[in-house]
Amino acid sequence: MSFTVNSPPTVRHFPLSRTSIGRTPRVTMVARSNSGVSVSTATALPILTKLQHDCATPLPVLRHVADAMATDMRAGLAVDGGSDLKMILSYVDSLPTGNERGLFYALDLGGTNFRVLRTQLGGKDERVIDTEVEQVSIPQDIMFGTSEELFDFIASALAKFVKKEGGKFVLPNDRSRETGFTFSFPVKQTSIDSGILIKWTKGFAVSGTPGKDIVACLNEAMGRQGLNMRVSALVNDTVATLAGARYWDNDVMVAVILGTGTNACYVESVDAIPKLQGHKSISGRTIINTEWGAFSNGLPLTEFDREMDAASINPGEQLFEKTISGMYLGEIVRRVLVRMADGSSLFGKHIPERLRTPFTLGTPNISSMQQDTSDDLEAVGSILYEVTGMDSNLAARKMVVEVCDTIAKRGGRLAGAGIVGILQKMEEDSKGIVFGKRTVVAMDGGLYEHYPQYKRYLKDAVKELLGPKISSNVVIEHSKDGSGIGAALLAATNSIYEH
Ligand code: ADP
Ligand code: MG
């Protein structure tokens, strides 16, 4: 793309969002060379060119990533610790069919909020009769408290929610309530209804839980609340998404989360899991949680990725996640902009401190900037000014949009290659199982949902890799909030009662 700017070097700069009303950003004056390219743009251009080169994902790179994903999956299935991919057994052997009936609960703990949900299922004809959801935020002191405090807090919120049960929600007299428990922290699962917490992540520092069975912790806390309820399925959010999507569509074979972090799971044949010892599955199939965020083979990384990784709390880990997920895309862009600002007067002489602060620029910001189709990129200017304090002229804004696009394109295309890797592995094991018929990949997460260019790049990469014929059978479908109902459905399929 050319950076010859024909419009005047200064651009009128209108604040766009409500928060910016009343503040008029300064406009930078930029010297211009005879060629019409502003001097500052010309010095930043090599940084962009190198970035685009280093982030390039032509077909051979995508192919390598897809093949390596398939190979790493196999290695992780062979033995524990056999590859970057943990390939964790979910113990979910039976997926929802649509015949589920009765009242089931779900509890989702995965971040600063937790959600409780109840659903009344009416089998094939009536399907989901009614659903109610409540969200509760977890106070800071609970996130840093003791295990008992946390689980008592959860159980007490759940007890309050249960008290409001009524209307279309009916529990047969002789039964206990059953709940699915979506728990998005690293767990060593030991059965469908038990799992040992390996460590807290995402800002949780609750003492006393690591090494303990979290289902036992919750069951005990529910007992202390006098709550007549048991956990019948402990699942990860990806697995719950797959189950939720599968309830409506029997062709769902893979689920992918692209939100703050990323992960994927899929339906695997038990015969293809050498490390599986003594685990019997009546269906002959089980869901594997890949933990693909840890994938690292052959990724096109830049100096900016390496610096971000080195400064992270987990250097050398979660490299795929750091390249493709929402927590990091904005931060990579910010690091590139700092380099451009330091090396040129592209954003004026004074570089605001805010631009130098890690994680000031979020992925939602870079996504919003890419949606600006105006001639003078007003929204880009406003976002840059509001979020980082930077002034910009049109040339600088164009450059910023190119940087955002480069990082989103690499992320989306690599995520697409990862999906193809999973499908390819399944197909290699059993010819025709995914490519010979309609196959659905259920997608969820804020990044996938709210970043249209990212989504487009992901789908394009899948098409490029599979070719027109096979890709016409592969449906990549957004399954919004399937994970809540998915966990309740897994409580139903793993119920101790016949239904
Ligand atoms: P989580 O992954 O924390 O469970 P979500 O699935 O809702 O939550 O994803 C939230 C993430 O999605 C945010 O951290 C952000 O990276 C990304 N995101 C949210 N809104 C947008 C947006 N408008 N454009 C791009 N990415 C977004
Ligand atoms: Mg989530």
| pLDDT, position 499 | 55
Residue showing tokens 């969200």 = 135
Q: Can you read off the two tokens belonging to residue 230?
A: 């048991």
Mutation to probe ligand 1, out of 449, 455, 479, 481 (largest number of atoms < 8 A from CB)? 449
- Rounded to whole angstroms, the Cα distance separating 378 from 222 reads 54
String of DSSP letters for 86-131 = --EE----S---S--EEEEEEEEESSSEEEEEEEEEEHHHH-EEEE
| pLDDT, position 349 | 83
| pLDDT, position 343 | 84
Closest to 203 in 3D by CA, of 260, 127, 118, 262:
260
To the query of whether residue 202 is one of the catalytic residues in this protein, the response is yes
| pLDDT, position 222 | 96
Candidate list 237, 305, 309, 444, residue with the active-site label = 237
Nearest ligand to the CA of 202 is 1
Burial (CB count within 10 angstroms: exposed 0-12, middle 13-18, buried 19+), residue 209: buried
Global pTM value: 0.90
Ligand 1 site, residue 281, Cβ cutoff 6 A: no
String of DSSP letters for 168-235 = T----TT--EEEEEEE-S-EEEEETTEEEE----TT---BT-TTSBHHHHHHHHHHHTT--EEEEEEE
Nearest ligand to the CA of 262 is 1
**What is the CA(321)–ligand 2 centre distance, in A?**
14
Nearest ligand to the CA of 443 is 1
| pLDDT, position 276 | 87
Distance of CA 130 to the CA centre of its chain: 28
| pLDDT, position 86 | 94
Contact (CB, 8 A) for 27 and 13: yes
Instruction: Supply the residue whose CA is at minimum distance from atom 3 of ligand 1.
Output: 260
Residue showing tokens 């699942």 = 235
Neighbours of 445 (CB within 10 A): 22
To the query of whether residue 212 is one of the catalytic residues in this protein, the response is no
Contact (CB, 8 A) for 320 and 327: no
- Rounded to whole angstroms, the Cα distance separating 327 from 262 reads 9
| pLDDT, position 14 | 35
Ligand 1 site, residue 447, Cβ cutoff 6 A: yes
- Rounded to whole angstroms, the Cα distance separating 250 from 150 reads 37
Instruction: Supply the residue whose CA is at minimum distance from atom 7 of ligand 1.
Output: 446
In ligand 1, the atom with minimum distance to the C-alpha of 454 is: 25
**What is the CA(113)–ligand 1 centre distance, in A?**
14
Cβ within 8 Å of residue 31, ≥6 positions away:
38, 39, 40, 345
Instruction: Supply the residue whose CA is at minimum distance from atom 12 of ligand 1.
Output: 446
Which sign does the torsion angle of CA 196, 201, 204, 207 carry? positive
Per-residue model confidence as pLDDT tens for the chain (499 residues): 434 333 333 333 333 333 333 344 444 444 444 444 455 677 899 999 999 999 999 999 999 999 999 999 999 999 999 999 999 999 999 999 999 999 999 999 977 789 999 999 999 999 999 999 999 999 989 999 999 999 999 999 999 999 999 999 999 888 999 999 999 888 989 899 999 998 887 778 899 999 999 999 999 999 999 999 999 999 999 999 999 999 999 999 999 999 989 999 999 999 999 998 777 788 899 999 999 999 999 999 999 999 999 999 889 999 999 999 999 999 999 999 999 999 888 888 888 999 999 999 999 999 999 999 999 999 999 999 999 999 999 999 999 999 999 999 999 999 999 999 999 999 999 898 899 999 999 999 999 999 999 999 999 999 999 999 999 999 999 998 788 899 999 999 999 886 5
What's phi and psi for 143, nearest 5 deg? Answer: -65, -20
| pLDDT, position 16 | 36
